[in-house]
Amino acid sequence: DTEPLRLAQIAISENSFQRELNLIELSRAYHLLHEAENNTAALQRTAIALNLPGTPAFMEKLRPLVQLPEAIQQAILSETVPLPMALELAEMGTEVGKRLAELFTALNPSLNKQREMLGLAKEIAAREDLSVWDVFQAPPVQAVLSNGELDRNQKIFRLRRHLKHRRFPTLSRAEDRFQETVKTLKLGPGVQLNPPPFFEGSDYRLSLRFSRLSELKAGKETIDRILQSPEIRHFIT
């Protein structure tokens, strides 16, 4: 005969006063409280009394997590998919969100790289009338993911490069041409010349590494050769 709110309080307090709850447990707790009490002010007071964070915005953000697919919940708990990305994956439908959570868990890229890859995939999908998962199912992507000779960081790098090239084919071709031009100059191991990523900007980066004056002199000669190259002038005006 005990009222639902009291039952929820008992269930939550058995854990909340013993240790810090993880995000999924917090979500479960907020969900239980919301089922029993839908008044925001009362919920906030109850949450604080139960040793839970009581900010309404925080509670509303976390409450839906318990209803996410198991794969996304596990990705949150393992901290391979940060909360902002998990919420974004949840909006993409159960199956797609689950598969992307599994992919990001396997690769474990940073939040910024996850956002970058998902954003590029969404733009490609919208332009080519595909689903986001279709983009990740493309043969070049699967070839990277299934390549046992690549480590995790190499797979992330190649996957990001493929998505950028597919999203921005013209700029990607220009970057490839630039790199081919640089190769013909045979700069040597101590000199690197890089364009702005995808030519988004006007700042090029030239680095010179040396440990002896003779290497510095050779580097100066290499820089002079770069300055005299008509091919490089085509890119840098």
Q: What is the pLDDT of residue 198?
A: 64
Q: What is the pLDDT of residues 206-216, one digit of tens each?
A: 888 888 898 88
| Nearest-angstrom CA–CA distance, 70 and 89 | 12
Q: What is the pLDDT of residue 189?
A: 78
Q: Which helix (H) or strand (E) holds 206?
A: strand 205-208
The SS3 call for residue 130 is: coil
Low-confidence ranges of the chain (pLDDT < 50): none
Where does residue 22 fall: left (phi above 0), alpha (psi -120 to 50 degrees), or beta otherwise?
A: beta
Where does residue 110 fall: left (phi above 0), alpha (psi -120 to 50 degrees), or beta otherwise?
A: beta
Q: What is the pLDDT of residue 87?
A: 85
